[in-house]
Structure 1
Amino acid sequence: MLLQIGVQLRYAVQAPTDIILQITVPSFADQRVIHDDIAISDTLHHATVSAEEGLGERRLLRVEKDFACNYTARVEVDRPALDIALLPAVPPHQLPSDAVRYLMPSRYCQSDELQNFVAAEFGDSSGGARIAQMRDWIFERFSYVPGSSNGQTTALDTFVQRQGVCRDYAHVMIALARASAIPARFVSVYAPYVTPQDFHAVAEVYLDGTWHLVDATGMAAANQIARIGVGLDAAEVSFFSSFGPVSLQNQSVQVTVDQ
């Protein structure tokens, strides 16, 4: 699948401010950037560093005037849409070192608080079959409500409220997977059928010796997704972080299938 991505960001800046930006798509074995371009307004400093796990990149910026960024990319996604329910789990003692940290509770994914629930609700399944059951459970019982959560909302908050946006769905999926001793991480992505169009978030779980994308919102299949970056939860994969006063003026994300 070929994806055409277009992003516009505009922020008002009141004083010299540091910004961390993570919006560009990296090339992986299952996704290839055919062409991309990023245009950023005047900066006092502009450096590029590797993101979490070395997957993707962050731009470290310092600005003193209003900030503007335009990003376009054409990406080929070559990833099968597997039946995740058929994939076996990897026991914790056999995990590779880089997957172990994704078993642990994190700021937004308090998996240790959900172990009893997971055992009671999904105890008759394991591995990918359990992941599929948890994905479907979230999809069927939660309502996708823009504006119903904020930057402080955790997986436990969403679990109780039964509503949220993609970020919240991903956090609950991750927390349930980790409570089942299955490594899971947060992935920021672009996908064409997200409504309303915006940056999107999904989970990624470690099964059968590799990572697999899971979207509990039902809006993006694995073979339609272009990854931006990964992390323990949303705190590690923010598309825009400022260390000073800024205010959003405009944000536009458009992802279409390129025929």
Structure 2
Amino acid sequence: MTEARGSAGQNGAAHARRAPGTPCWVSLMVHGLASTQEFYGALFGWEFRPGPRQLGPYLRAVLDGREVAGIGQLPPDRQLPIAWTPYLASDDVNQTAETVRLCGGTIGVGPLDADEAGRLAIGSDPSGAVFGIWQAASHLGVAVTGVPGATAWNELLTFESATVLKFYETVFGFERRPADSPDSDDITLLLRGSPVVNIRGVGNALPRDRGSHWLTYFEVADVDGTLPRLTALGGHVLTPAHDGPWGRTAVVTDPEGARFALIRSNA
């Protein structure tokens, strides 16, 4: 499921420029930047350094000296859903944004420059799920994946995969690997033969208050042991720890309600 442990590049290359369509960053916009920083710092051992400020105050989370995520502050008058947003790599964010529009998606932010770091846009697919597009310059994205405290996987939860499958294949050039079971609406998307993201149709189990949305998985050493710490820090458990095809997982929220998953991946 994950890329090579301890690396952020394809085929084990450390912190290399990603092929278009590869998840390369994950970011969260919140109202309480300081309190959110404290929560994730205590949960994952993150430290923080300043990042680009085009969209307001913004911090990059650092794990053992390597950047793993971003957290920014929403303007006080913006009442937007609090959610982790994965960014998919692009060689030309302007062209990718135009393709998003032509394929039935929308672009809500950008394209715009983020200092010398790169160029970005934020959009949504035809089902309404929000994602980012990142054209790297000096900032290539996450420097490590698949180790405790770093991202492990990104999954799109939607009513049915057929609604958005063609969109992602056209915009990002993904190939599909259907689920093993014909009764499961669960499709893994590949780039150059390697799995990069998953689309899972959950039907009426889709949360009505969220609609279609991306879910980011963060690796931890012990899912069961992390949950008490998460709740003590003000987070909430939505789906208790359980064993799945990729490892032991739980779906949780931070104190502002941003959903994410914890996973101890199968070796």
**Do both share a fold (TM > 0.5)?**
no
**Which of the pair has more CA radius of gyration?**
1
TM-score normalised to structure 2 length: 0.28
TM-score, length of structure 1 as denominator length: 0.29
